Amino acid sequence: MTTLTDDTLPVTPRAMRDEMIAFVVMALLLASVPFTGVYPFFVMQALCFALLACAFNLLVGYGGLLSFGHAMFLGTAGYCCAHALKVWALPPELGILVGIAAAFVLSIITGYISIRRQGIYFSMITLALSQLLYFIYLQAPFTHGEDGIQGIPQGRMFGVFDLSKPTVLYYVVLVGFLAGFLLIYRIINSPFGEVLKSIRENEQRAISLGYRTDQYKFLAFVLSGTLAGFAGALKVFVAQNASLTDVHWSMSGEVVLMTLVGGLGTIFGPVVGAFAIIAMQQYLAGFGQWVTVIQGSIFVVCVLTFRRGVIGEIAHYFRRSL
Amino acid sequence: MQALYAQLLVGLINGSFYALLSLGLAVIFGMLNIINFAHGALYMMGAFVAYFLLSLGGINYWWALLIAPVIVGIFGMILERTMLQWLTGLDHLYGLLLTFGIALIVQGVFQNYFGSSGLPYAIPDQLKGGMNLGFMFLPIYRGWVVVFSLVVCLATWFLIEKTQLGAYLRAATENPTLVRAFGINVPRMITLTYGLGVGLAALAGVLSAPINQVRPLMGADLIIVVFAVVVIGGMGSIMGSIITGFALGVIEGLTKYFYPEASNTVVFVLMVLVLLVKPTGLTGRAA
């Protein structure tokens, strides 16, 4: 079996330094967005998807588990956060916590079920589970079916930050994204992350070394699902609604596409991929269903010729880890 | 009781489609090691080819039943030759991603030209009307779909399990290198297998055209249910796929009668239960 990525490069101080430099550059670039005249709503949306893609990448790029149902965490956290804000009138920080908690519980349940099967079956099970949730949300009263939850109050974060101001909201979303990103980076480089990579490379050998691989995969699944829920909760404040599109299988497909374009198993790839795909959707919005055709073509081209993704190719060319 | 029998019949019809589609998925997976995400899109193409044959060429249902699977099968073999074959030896997930992309392209193109609404396809004259069976009224076309699907499923089973060609196929699934050493052209067999699996999907599409209308997204949601069917039944056995397909269709039909709210979800719920009780699926082989 060929491996997903070729990060045979060891974690050296130099690699860490490269990644830190790249991180600081990324953070500075993103922090300067409000001063550049770029439409902040677009960047905020992209940041939410970038965090979602990073969480997804933690599972597929480092654990080798391709989830085709990550929209369920995005959508569930979104619905629960929106419900908490609108119906229970909770402050934003508690609303986010409710969303994360919902995704956490959901990922424990779905992880317990789907980790039981390997490889291709795992993908089909996660897809089927997310479709199950889609139909539940379609019929459940609290989601308001096709209409979704709309007109969500943004409120004041910690009673101080007025989230109805675009600039304030932007920095809150940015801080959330960077925190999530750093957490994922930390997980990848922890001893846990190293074991996860070894399971991806050769599960049998990891088992024979005494690791209970199922537990590692389960934990990776829960971490990934919960972080995806964090992205879903943040997205509620940006979009001010929670709707069925966020739980639909096409959303799961988009997350996969973002990560694939940026580079599976790279640290910065999902971020680049998310910005690329969201930008593409923005510019091609007038072309109707041709967007779907273009997305499908990108899938095909990436799989056939460009499996490392943008960041993966760059990292491979410079022999750096990014 | 009338309503119960009617839902049972609907269940059997859906079960026919599940069986035909999961059968194709299993055959393709056996040879190519790929889960064909494009299966739903190719099912839809089968229905559209039948529609075009009738509306543009005046070619009737009976010919469509033969021609549509052949056309879509050839399209599938072109896909296999130009794209899928390059994935040999790569991780499973790339096959899923590639065929997902193909599904998006095919569905997107059809959506652009035909929107999301359905196109009507008339039931052929010979199968119009119905029969009174005493306990229920049976629309002849629906009865035909169930019987014909069953025959096709069993013929496929016979082809794979009982013929010389099927023996080569099963051998190549187990050990392609060894089979090649016997002078059998395995790559060509792989292409034909993909064509066969895809042709079965297209055949299901033609069968469903008069019942479900011809829509660009008719296969998109169906394929996810079929994935759940495949997880429940496992892809190890041909007969297992057929039985699981029909059985789940019937269970779904019964749910529509007794608890309609759950009819969309019952297959997925069953999948969860099966995974909790017997993680390897009903036919038992781990993957």
Out of B221, B230, B287, the one facing A118 most closely (by C-beta) is B287
Q: How far apart are CA B119 and CA B48, in angstroms?
A: 9
Closest residue by Cα to residue A78 from A137, A136, A135: A137
Q: Is residue A78's pLDDT more than 90?
A: yes
Q: Is residue B64 part of a domain?
A: yes
Q: What's the pLDDT at A138?
A: 93
Binary contact (B224, A128; C-beta < 8 A): yes
The pLDDT of B102-109, averaged and rounded, is 95
Binary contact (A293, B108; C-beta < 8 A): yes
Q: How confident is the prediction for chain B on average, in pLDDT?
A: 91
- H helices of chain B, in order, are 2-32, 39-57, 61-82, 92-114, 140-162, 164-174, 176-181, 186-212, 220-233, 238-258, 266-277
List chain A residues with CB under 8 Å of B264: 135, 138
CB of B112 within 8 Å of any CB in chain A? yes
CB of B221 within 8 Å of any CB in chain A? yes
Q: How far apart are CA B199 and CA B202, in angstroms?
A: 5
pLDDT for A226-282, tens place per residue? 999 999 999 999 999 899 999 999 999 999 999 999 999 999 999 999 999 999 988
Q: Is residue B258 part of a domain?
A: yes
Q: Is residue B27's pLDDT more than 60?
A: yes
The pLDDT of A302-311, averaged and rounded, is 90
Interface test with A, best of B92, B102, B252, B269 (most A CBs within 10 A): B92
Closest residue by Cα to residue B38 from B88, B75, B81: B75
Q: Is residue B112 part of a domain?
A: no
Q: Is residue B111 part of a domain?
A: no
Q: What's the pLDDT at A158?
A: 86
Take residue A189 and report the two structure tokens written for it: 């480089």
Q: Is residue A1's pLDDT more than 50?
A: no
- Strands (E) in chain A, as ranges, are 156-157, 161-162
Q: What's the pLDDT at A164?
A: 84
CATH code for position B185 = 1.10.3470
Q: What's the pLDDT at B284?
A: 58
Q: Dihedral, CA atoms, A127, A129, A135, A139, nearest 10 degrees? A: -150
The pLDDT of B124-136, averaged and rounded, is 83
| Residues paired with residue A162 on neighbouring β-strands, in sequence order | A156
Q: How far apart are CA B246 and CA B225, in angstroms?
A: 13
Share of chain B above pLDDT 90, in %: 64
A 10 A CB-CB count for A68 gives 28
Q: Please report the ipTM that was assigned to this predicted complex.
A: 0.91
**Total domains in the fold of chain B:** 1
Q: Which residues contact A33 (CB under 8 A, 6 or more apart)?
A: A40, A43, A170
Q: What's the pLDDT at A117?
A: 85
pLDDT for B184-224, tens place per residue? 899 999 999 999 999 999 999 999 999 988 999 999 989 99
Q: Which residues contact A32 (CB under 8 A, 6 or more apart)?
A: none
- Strands (E) in A62-211, as ranges, are 156-157, 161-162
CB of B87 within 8 Å of any CB in chain A? yes
Q: What's the pLDDT at B272?
A: 92
Task: Using the structure block, give the residue that is written with the tokens 């499908």.
Answer: A296
Q: Is residue B110 part of a domain?
A: no
pLDDT for B32-66, tens place per residue? 888 999 999 999 999 999 999 999 988 999 999 99
Q: Dihedral, CA atoms, A179, A214, B231, B85, nearest 10 degrees? A: 80
Q: How far apart are CA A216 and CA A61, in angstroms?
A: 14
Binary contact (B112, A293; C-beta < 8 A): yes
Q: What's the pLDDT at A3?
A: 47
Q: Is residue B103 part of a domain?
A: no
Out of A138, A289, A303, the one facing B112 most closely (by C-beta) is A289
Q: Is residue A128's pLDDT more than 90?
A: yes
Tell me which residue range forms the domain holding B46. Answer: 2-86+118-277
Q: Residue A179 CA to chain centroid, in angstroms?
A: 13
Q: Which residues contact A181 (CB under 8 A, 6 or more apart)?
A: A23, A50, A51, A54, A271
Q: Is residue B251 part of a domain?
A: yes
**Continuous segment of H or E residues that includes residue B131:** strand B130-132
Q: Is residue B259 part of a domain?
A: yes
Closest residue by Cα to residue B48 from B66, B72, B24, B74: B72
Out of B91, B100, B261, the one facing A299 most closely (by C-beta) is B100
Interface test with B, best of A299, A302, A306, A308 (most B CBs within 10 A): A299
